[in-house]
Amino acid sequence: MSKKYFGTDGIRGKVGNYPITADFSLKLGWAIGRVFADEGKNFVLVGKDTRISGYMFESALEAGLSAAGVDTHLLGPMPTPAIAYLTRTLRAQAGIVISASHNPYYDNGVKFFSTQGTKLADELEHKIECYIDKPIVTVDSAKLGKAKRIEDAAGRYIEFCKSTVPSTLSLKGLNIVVDCANGATYHVAPHVLEELGANVTSIGVEPDGLNINHQCGATQPQKLIDTVLKEKADLGIALDGDGDRLIMVDHQGEIVDGDELIFIIAKSRTAENEKQAPIVGTLMSNLGMEHALEKLGLSLIRANVGDRYVLEMLKQHNALLGGEGSGHIICLDKTTTGDGIVAALQVLTEIQQTGHNLHDLKQGMQKYPQILINVKVARKVEPLTIPSIQKAVTAVEKALGQEGRVLLRASGTEPLIRVMVEGMDEKKVNDYAQQLAAVVKNSISA
């Protein structure tokens, strides 16, 4: 059964446009409260990132939960993975995250974690939607939910992050620039690194409610690159607004993306285990990563694009490491969800234990040129059901052989066909991508 409000990762949109409104959030809080009141009396954690609308949605959700008779424990600005961790360790009934991740300040959203710190089951999301469509009924005054703030939330999470690396690890001698995207990690990530001994230069740590992800962070790392080169730092760490995405920069100012970071972490683990579970990527993961992992004796399994699908595939194959080129990296042996700080610490551990710098560690993987063209279409259609497109794709795949890859897929949110070609020769890859894009445009319009 399809969902009316929930997407693949909660509910998200532009603030002020339904359903990202104060009145809907009140109703959503009540609906969540009713579902969890049915499950038994307990409290719900609520955390947020630093965008200005978080104040409004936090208050609305709290009011709705109270009306349903459920207590609220407020965390304030905290990274999404921190809320997952605290939901689990504080034995909350659920965790609510008010965030639009890497989006601009004028967007916001709400996503949820179960008491185990994992994504909510579809069954619970359906139940919540059923209550949203019912009128609010407030419990008796004596049964209204109460609210309180968790004062030591940041400290608890800092200690957790440090616990994911060996107790003997010291980052002493490393000069690190960390960009917190003026988001939820601004008061956490620098402290984690400093307490492990690193010399830290922090940028993107002055949130004002409007500057989250603005010309900073994992999606726009130029400021981090400039600062790493200016400070002559050993490396840079870029997180996004809610802290679940990681991009790094080496001492030469070169970006190290999610695929390369997953390779580095995977390689570090092959030294510890003779036999390792497969690595999970996505349909967009670079072919160079797949070939580099094969040389390590590791297989790559591709999930649909989205960290939710990566997580599902990890569990399905009893795997522990996966993620996306965009920087969502999940280390299931360390935590239950994608965590930018935890992933960065795994890479830093490899740097300190091997004595190799980040630039050297990424050399084991050669990224193949990857061209992505978005073709606007007038109607929704699966491109490979059209014979002319299928024929063109087959011809390009044959020409590329084992040294390239083609992917065509319809966007789930926009009237677009995404045409992706990758291979060893950048000019050929670009030419093939342009050819396929033209075939897609002509075939669908015809």
HSE, CB side, 13 Å, CA atoms: give it for residue 8: 11
Contacts 24+ apart (CB under 8 A), 223-228: 223/179, 224/177, 224/179, 224/249, 225/249, 225/253, 225/255, 226/253, 227/177, 227/179, 227/201, 227/203, 228/177, 228/253
Rounded Cα gap, residues 207 and 180, in angstroms:
9
Catalytic residue among 53, 99, 101, 443: 101
Q: For position 377, what pLDDT does the model report?
A: 87
Q: For position 273, what pLDDT does the model report?
A: 65
Assigned CATH for 370-445:
3.30.310.50
Q: For position 1, what pLDDT does the model report?
A: 65
Helical spans, DSSP H, in 249-362: 258-270, 287-295, 307-316, 340-354, 358-361
Answer yes or no: same fold for 156-364 and 370-445: no
Q: Looking at the whole model, is its pTM more than 0.75?
A: yes
Question: 222 phi and psi, to 5 degrees?
Answer: -60, -40
Peptide bond into 278 cis (omega under 30): no
101 is catalytic: yes
Q: Classify domain 11-151 at the CATH class level.
A: alpha beta
Is the separation of the CB atoms in 178 and 190 below 8 Å?
yes
| Helix or strand (DSSP H, E) at 226 | helix 222-231
For each successive 10 residues of the chain (446 residues), what is the average pLDDT? 83 96 98 87 93 98 97 98 97 96 96 93 91 95 96 97 97 98 98 98 98 98 98 98 98 98 95 79 96 95 92 95 97 96 98 97 95 89 90 95 92 83 95 95 83
Question: 113 phi and psi, to 5 degrees?
Answer: -125, 145
CA dist list (Å): 148 to 43, 72, 73, 373: 10, 7, 5, 49
Is the separation of the CB atoms in 206 and 97 below 8 Å?
no
The strand pairing partners of 336, in sequence order, are none
Instruction: Select 156-364's CATH number: 3.40.50.300, 3.40.50.10470, 3.40.120.10, 3.20.20.210.
Output: 3.40.120.10
Domain residue spans of the chain: 11-151, 156-364, 370-445
Per residue in 79-97, is it b (16+ CB within 10 Å) or e — as a string? Answer: bbbbbbbbbbebebbbbbb
